[in-house]
Structure 1
Amino acid sequence: MSFKIALIQLAVSATKADNLKRASQLVSHAAKEGAKLVSLPECFNSPYGTSYFPEYAEKIPGTSSHSLASMAKDNDIYLIGGSIPEEEDGKLFNTCCVFDPKGEIVAKHRKIHLFDIDVPGKIRFQESETLSPGNSFTMFDTPYCKVGVGICYDIRFPELAHVYAKENCKLLVYPGAFNMTTGPAHWELLQRGRALDNQLYVATVSPARDTGASYVAWGHSSVINPWGQVIATTEEKETVLFAVIDPAYVNEVRDQIPIRKQKRDDMYTLDWNKI
């Protein structure tokens, strides 16, 4: 059964209440346009940056998760709540909660691979200075297909997507905030690579670009199909991006090019507990 997905490329401000209000407005708009699954971007309720994570962090359940639950229930949709800085037992995480149409949490993903990079003369960013990593895979079922979730830097690690594909996910969603250095170089390539590697749909949802922010997001939220084609994309401004996901097309592509029947996993063994 085909269904419509909506990616909300939100313009994030420094005021949490304003971010939640604007997110609610755009989620409602997406649902009215027929979206059954809606996703917000990474760090949608606060500015993105190591100095902001401790200030904006909250427990789950908390203010932001309660707001997300209401958005899902009021609009009768599945909602991937981008991510928020989460605090638990003195640790901070970059966390994505997923809500069903009843407003109940059906999945929670803590970013596994922290964004620690140093490109001389361009960008240095170390999430590990304040955040702790998650350590679990995150999937949830819908009436349409099973969906796998990652956050931003997780997309660089094909093993994660491969596990999701093995578990019969037909759509992977990565809320992410690539920057002005890695965005133009790698953002689309990584999405198309994960889609082709695993013959499934990949959706990425970024915050809108704010050139006055300390961390400037690339934008360009997109949806890639199992053939590696970009079927929906946008530029850098705030918008709601729509695409149609056809789970049957995943099966069609896998039948046409049956790479998953080659038993390649017999060639190596990986200890997934050490991710």
Structure 2
Amino acid sequence: MSDNMPGPLTKFRLALIQLMVSPLKASNYNRLGTFVKEAASRGAKVVALPECYNSPYGTNYFPEYAERIPGESTRVLSEVAKEFGVYLIGGSIPEEDDGKLYNTCTVFAPNGSMLLKYRKIHLFDIDVPGKIRFQESETLSPGSSLCTFDTPYCKVGIGICYDMRFTELAQIYTQKGCQLLVYPGAFNMTTGPAHWELLQRARAVDNQVYVAAVSPARNEKSSYVAWGHSSIVNPWGEVLAKAGSEETIIYADIDLKYLSGIRQQIPILKQKRHDLYCIQAVKD
């Protein structure tokens, strides 16, 4: 490589916007634009929004707020990504398509083009006696495709909330070359304190990747109260940045040289590939 040629881009700033979601879509659009502008002014190249950034979270809200894609909400995301020159991970919105509803994340490039549309694969169906019952499957249909996108820095894999509990999804993304996994999510006041950070750290250590999970801000008046605590975790399992419950932006510098160093020091990915080969051999 010539001394005059630029080397690979190995570090970039990630921002997570912990938005206080309003029942008014226009209010959410205005505030997310303000926050993305602030994040870009502080050097963020990749910016992520929370799950259901444009509507309250709840099975009774999904039909009311659902949109087709492209639609109003994705138009706003495209315009904001282009105006501020960032990769914008659009949290998720309730999507209507062919008579079905999905929990869908879209990602936009700095030129405003849509890079992917990911539909939440693992629907949030839980029943913790005396604490919480929630059944996304009462209104939503599951997606069936994994989605990644490329940046000048690294490949990024997308999941939504409950997807974070499924180790196989993160493993497949890692095998596909992802070095950052981003999960827009809205854990609640029961599962949040117990598992939110634990799962992020587990996925990061299991796969030696950066993991980011971005929640809505906590609104105690909502029918579904989000835990908040958006976080960014490095491949060593350390929490680099963590929000409280309030509306805010958090930042972390994603260092791909550091990630490579971790993988060299503890080369588990090579062993995982060997394990998968052995498992397949047994099946055959």
TM over 0.5: yes
For the pair 1:250 / 2:249, whether they are aligned, the reply is no
Which residue of structure 1 lines up, in the alignment, with residue 276 of structure 2? 265
Cα-to-partner distance string for 1:84-117 (whole Å, 9 max, x where unaligned): 0000000000000000000000111100000000
Listed as ranges, the gaps of 5+ residues in structure 1 are: 270-275
Structure 1 residue 17: deviation in Å?
1.0
Listed as ranges, the gaps of 5+ residues in structure 2 are: 1-9
Aligned with 1:159 (options 131, 155, 168): 168
Cα-to-partner distance string for 1:43-90 (whole Å, 9 max, x where unaligned): 000000000000000000000000000010000000000000000000
Aligned with 2:69 (options 60, 75, 97): 60
Structure 1 residue 266: deviation in Å?
2.2
SS of 1:268's equivalent in the other structure is helix
Which residue of structure 2 lines up, in the alignment, with residue 202 of structure 1? 211
CA distance in structure 1 between the aligned counterparts of 2:49 and 2:269, rounded to whole angstroms: 31
Structure 1 residue 128: deviation in Å?
0.2
CA distance in structure 2 between the aligned counterparts of 1:267 and 1:180, rounded to whole angstroms: 41
Report the residue type matching 2:132 in the other structure: I
CA distance in structure 1 between the aligned counterparts of 2:256 and 2:147, rounded to whole angstroms: 19
CA distance in structure 1 between the aligned counterparts of 2:278 and 2:57, rounded to whole angstroms: 40
For the pair 1:42 / 2:42, whether they are aligned, the reply is no
CA distance in structure 2 between the aligned counterparts of 1:197 and 1:122, rounded to whole angstroms: 30
Cα-to-partner distance string for 1:161-208 (whole Å, 9 max, x where unaligned): 000100110000000000000000000000000000000100000000
CA distance in structure 2 between the aligned counterparts of 1:267 and 1:235, rounded to whole angstroms: 44
CA distance in structure 1 between the aligned counterparts of 2:278 and 2:65, rounded to whole angstroms: 45
Report the residue type matching 1:232 in the other structure: A
CA distance in structure 2 between the aligned counterparts of 1:236 and 1:198, rounded to whole angstroms: 28
CA distance in structure 1 between the aligned counterparts of 2:270 and 2:115, rounded to whole angstroms: 31
TM-score (norm 2): 0.94
CA distance in structure 2 between the aligned counterparts of 1:9 and 1:260, rounded to whole angstroms: 32
Query: Where in structure 1 do 4 or more consecutive aligned residues deviate above 6 Å?
Result: none
SS of 2:44's equivalent in the other structure is coil
Root-mean-square deviation (CA), in Å? 0.6
Cα-to-partner distance string for 1:128-151 (whole Å, 9 max, x where unaligned): 000000001110000010000000
Structure 1 residue 268: deviation in Å?
2.8
CA distance in structure 2 between the aligned counterparts of 1:174 and 1:71, rounded to whole angstroms: 20
Which residue of structure 2 lines up, in the alignment, with residue 182 of structure 1? 191
Cα-to-partner distance string for 1:22-61 (whole Å, 9 max, x where unaligned): 1111111111111000000000000000000000000000
Which residue of structure 2 lines up, in the alignment, with residue 89 of structure 1? 98
CA distance in structure 1 between the aligned counterparts of 2:257 and 2:165, rounded to whole angstroms: 26
Structure 1 residue 234: deviation in Å?
1.2
Larger Rg: 2
For the pair 1:150 / 2:173, whether they are aligned, the reply is no
SS of 1:250's equivalent in the other structure is helix
Range with bigger deviation, 20-29 or 206-215: 20-29
Structure 1 residue 248: deviation in Å?
1.6
How many residues matched?
Answer: 269
CA distance in structure 2 between the aligned counterparts of 1:130 and 1:92, rounded to whole angstroms: 7
Which residue of structure 1 lines up, in the alignment, with residue 240 of structure 2? 231
Structure 1 residue 247: deviation in Å?
1.3
